[in-house]
Amino acid sequence: MEVILLEDVKSLGKKGDVVKVSDGYARNMILPKKLGVEANKKNLNDLKLKNQHAERVAREQLEAAQALAGDVATKEVTVTLKTGEGGKTFGSVSTKEIAAAAKEQLDLELDKKKMQLPEGGLKSLGVYEIGIKFHPKVTGTLKVNVKAE
Mean local confidence (pLDDT), 100-105: 92
- Is residue 48 a contact partner of residue 55, using CB atoms and an 8 Å limit? no
User: What is the structure's pLDDT at 120?
Assistant: 77
What is the separation of C-alpha 17 from the centre of its chain, rounded to a whole number of angstroms? Answer: 24
What contacts 106, CB < 8 A, 6 or more positions away?
A: 75, 77
- Please indicate whether residue 86 or residue 68 has the higher confidence score (pLDDT): 68
Determine the Cα–Cα distance for residues 73 and 24; give it in Å rounded to an integer: 58
Sign of CA dihedral 119, 92, 130, 136: positive
Question: Model-level pTM?
Answer: 0.70
- Is residue 39 a contact partner of residue 5, using CB atoms and an 8 Å limit? no
